[in-house]
Amino acid sequence: MLHAVIMAGGSGTRFWPQSRNRMPKQLLKLAGNRTMIQQTLDRCEGMVDPANAWVVTNAVQVEQTQQQLPEIPGKNVLVEPMARNTAPCIGLAAAHALKRDPDAIMFVMPADHVISPREVFQAAALKAVSVVEADPERLVMFGITPAFPATGYGYIERGDAFAAVAGSFDVKSFREKPKLELAEEYIASGNFYWNCGIFCWKAATILDQLKQHEPDMYERLQRIVQVVDTVEYDNVLAEEFPQMNSISIDYAVLERATGATVIEAPFTWDDVGSWLAVPRLAGEDENGNTIDGPFAGVDTKNCIVRTTDDHLIATLGVDDLIIVHTADATLVARKQDSERIKVLLEEIKRQGRTDRL
């Protein structure tokens, strides 16, 4: 049976001050009338029963996550005691899914991507499932056709076709965040994709791979799953999970395993990495401004302006700014400095204003 796994433990610091430790970007409405995590589950409607949908998050965000996704059973919201990257996250979900369903196929998605249209996404997801059904040892991922020579994404090199399912290919190699010249070569070759972090495999297979390549992690997962639905669960989870190797599923398994398979994604995809993504998603007015909330501007161009209440933002004679107002903090930054918001948060932390983080 198909299970959806939503990875939702990120902090989303690049979207401060709207994004906070308790309310990261996946819990915000950055593209449309539904939050990003709600849209992630929406994309699975009709394809996955909510009873077979899982969310992996952290203790700080679990209450908001459950409020936003009431259709997912409470037992399916898995809480990480601390962040340990994607391999322990996926391993925990796989262990739970396998305990409930020995034939579980997992479709794994980050909670903070924007993907459309839904029907194209679902058709691609079912193609991935067909690959796994044709060969249960396959580990399937989606590759995004590069729109430009990005240096901040990992790349997947396509190999030979997998004959059993048209449009799927063996993975020849993984390449991490190349320099610009190398990224340009990748695009020119036509054989490389961006790795978007969406996966499909049997729960049993990914756990077998963890057993082979990360045996300590596997043993700790087994100790956790043995006490599911008992009073010991929380204590065992708190003891075992933080001791797992903090490593991505790419490094832990995919770059070591045979059977890695890539499907070229036919859907549109945006990882919404910073405030600069918002104009792509929400559009711009005749002055190049992207506005969400009360606003009055004169001689204002190419700005991103957002407010969370009826507070009026008024600008005069400014260009290329990010202005984000919340009840207790306001950000004003040049667009070109959007990647430095983390530096600003370190300064806020240094000042002891952790209640604003």
Bridge partners, residue 66, by sequence: none
Structure confidence at residue 295 (pLDDT): 97
Please compute the mean of the pLDDT values over residues 135-160 and round it to a whole number: 95
CA angle 54, 56, 60 (to 5 degrees): 130
Lowest model confidence (mean pLDDT) among 133-142, 210-219, 305-314: 305-314
Q: 3-class secondary structure for 42-83?
A: HCCCCCCCHHHEEEEEECCCHHHHHHHCCCCCHHHEEEECCC
Sign of CA dihedral 131, 133, 136, 139: positive
Please compute the mean of the pLDDT values over residues 302-316 and round it to a whole number: 94
The residue among 176 and 73 whose pLDDT is bigger is 73
Instruction: Report residue 343's pLDDT band, with 50, 70 and 90 as the boundaries.
Output: very high
Structure confidence at residue 265 (pLDDT): 95
Determine contact, residues 157/172, Cβ cutoff 8 Å.
yes
Strand, coil or helix: 357:
coil
Indicate if the pLDDT at residue 336 is higher than 90.
yes
Indicate if the pLDDT at residue 18 is higher than 90.
yes
Question: For residue 42, what are the CA distances in angstroms to 22, 46, 122?
Answer: 22, 9, 11
Indicate if the pLDDT at residue 17 is higher than 90.
yes
Q: Which helix (H) or strand (E) holds 194?
A: strand 192-202
Tokens of 187: 């695009």
CA–CA gap between residue 98 and residue 104 (Å, rounded): 6
Structure confidence at residue 233 (pLDDT): 97
Domain ranges across the chain: 2-270, 275-356
Query: What are 56-77's pLDDT values in tens digits?
Result: 999 999 999 999 999 999 999 9
Bridge partners, residue 89, by sequence: none
Structure confidence at residue 11 (pLDDT): 73
What percent of the chain is predicted at pLDDT more than 70? 100
**Within 10 Å of residue 18's Cβ, how many Cβ atoms?**
23
Please compute the mean of the pLDDT values over residues 149-175 and round it to a whole number: 94
CA–CA gap between residue 245 and residue 30 (Å, rounded): 32
Question: What percentage of the chain's residues is helix, strand, coil (to nearest 5)?
Answer: 40, 25, 35
CA–CA gap between residue 193 and residue 175 (Å, rounded): 10
CA–CA gap between residue 146 and residue 265 (Å, rounded): 11
Cα–Cα nearest to 96, from 216, 256, 227: 227
Q: 3-class secondary structure for 317-329?
A: EEECEEEEECCCC
CATH architecture, range 2-270: Alpha-Beta Complex (3.90)
CA–CA gap between residue 76 and residue 79 (Å, rounded): 9
Please compute the mean of the pLDDT values over residues 152-177 and round it to a whole number: 94
Structure confidence at residue 13 (pLDDT): 84
What average pLDDT is seen over the chain? 95
What percent of the chain is predicted at pLDDT more than 90? 92
Instruction: Report residue 31's pLDDT band, with 50, 70 and 90 as the boundaries.
Output: confident
Query: What are 279-295's pLDDT values in tens digits?
Result: 998 899 999 999 999 99
Instruction: Specify the pTM.
Output: 0.93
Indicate if the pLDDT at residue 81 is higher than 80.
yes
Sign of CA dihedral 236, 72, 250, 59: negative
CA–CA gap between residue 353 and residue 347 (Å, rounded): 9
Determine contact, residues 9/58, Cβ cutoff 8 Å.
yes
Bridge partners, residue 268, by sequence: 116
